[in-house]
Amino acid sequence: MNRIRDIRKAKGLTLADLAAACSPPTTAQTIGRLETGMRQLSLGWMNKIAAALGVEPASLMRAETTAPAQIVAELGASGPEALTHPREALPPSALAPEDGPAPLVLSVTASVGEYRPGDLVWLRAIAPEEAGQAINRAMNRDCLIPRPGGRFAFGRLIDRRGSLVAVLPPGAGQKQVVVDNPPWIAVAFMLVRAL
């Protein structure tokens, strides 16, 4: 069995979305047959689907030595609802984009704002050449920004003027930090918190 359906659903894609993202595009029926094992998943198909999903081809296959974590229920406005078919819960590395730089992780060691000790904040770096629209989408989101001298600024991205970017740190009573011409900005996309 493969993990194509689990990864596709975790990324919010339909069969048609994944089929269109393949190069060259294929049909939703073909993707469905590959997911269910009705059609053999060759190395060529693994490479095409992995590229379309933005993951490593090896992540499409299940490891037989360990049982995967299962999503057994969904919590909605009316309370928890059992799933008729449990789904595999994907580790953060399977959700990270393959075509960009590897995700960065910020480890939280003290309670700061809404963050607790032990939290891991996963971030995607935006390169300067991609900065235009990507930074606009990062506005009002938590970001990690490198500063001179090997230091960092972390907080809510609140302003951008030319080469200057400003973040508001998460701690109470903190003043905004302005960084001039950072080489990259990493935008938080996932929070991993142990309960």
| Domain ranges within the chain, ordered by starting residue | 4-89, 100-192
What pLDDT, on the 0 to 100 scale, is given for residue 193?
85
CA distance 195 to 192: 10
Cα→Cα distances 83→70, 72, 80, 165, Å: 10, 6, 10, 44
Residue 92 pLDDT exceeds 80: no
* Eight-state DSSP code of residue 2: B
Alpha-carbon distance of 75 to 77, in angstroms, equals 7
- Whether the bond into 24 is cis, omega within 30 of 0: yes
Residue 190 pLDDT greater than 80, yes or no:
yes
Given this model, what pLDDT does residue 91 score?
62
Q: Model confidence over 31-72: pLDDT tens digits? A: 999 998 888 888 899 999 999 998 888 888 866 555 666 667
The answer on pLDDT for 86 being more than 80 is no
Mode of pairing for the β-strands spanning 164-168 and 151-161: antiparallel
Average pLDDT over residues 125-147: 76
Q: Which CATH number fits domain 4-89: 1.10.260.40, 3.40.50.300, 3.40.50.2000, 1.10.1370.30?
A: 1.10.260.40
Angstrom distance (rounded) from CA 113 to CA 68: 33
Q: Tell how many helices (H) and how many strands (E) occur in the chain.
A: 6, 9
Structure tokens at 108: 């939280």
Q: What is the pTM of this model?
A: 0.56
CB within 8 Å of 14: residues ≥ 6 apart:
8, 28
Alpha carbon distance 71, 23 (integer Å): 30
N- to C-terminal Cα separation, the chain: 31
Angstrom distance (rounded) from CA 72 to CA 90: 13
Give how far Cα 133 sits from Cα of 3, 97, 101, 118, 146, Å: 32, 18, 18, 32, 20
Q: What pLDDT, on the 0 to 100 scale, is given for residue 81?
A: 75
Say whether pLDDT at 191 is over 60: yes
141: which 2 tokens? 């989101």
Among 2.10.109.10, 3.40.50.1100, 3.90.79.10, 3.40.50.300, what is the CATH number of 100-192? 2.10.109.10
Residue 41: per-residue pLDDT: 87
Task: Report the distance separating Cα 65 and Cα 56, nearest Å.
Answer: 19
Q: How confident is the model at residue 97 (pLDDT cuts 50, 70, 90)?
A: low
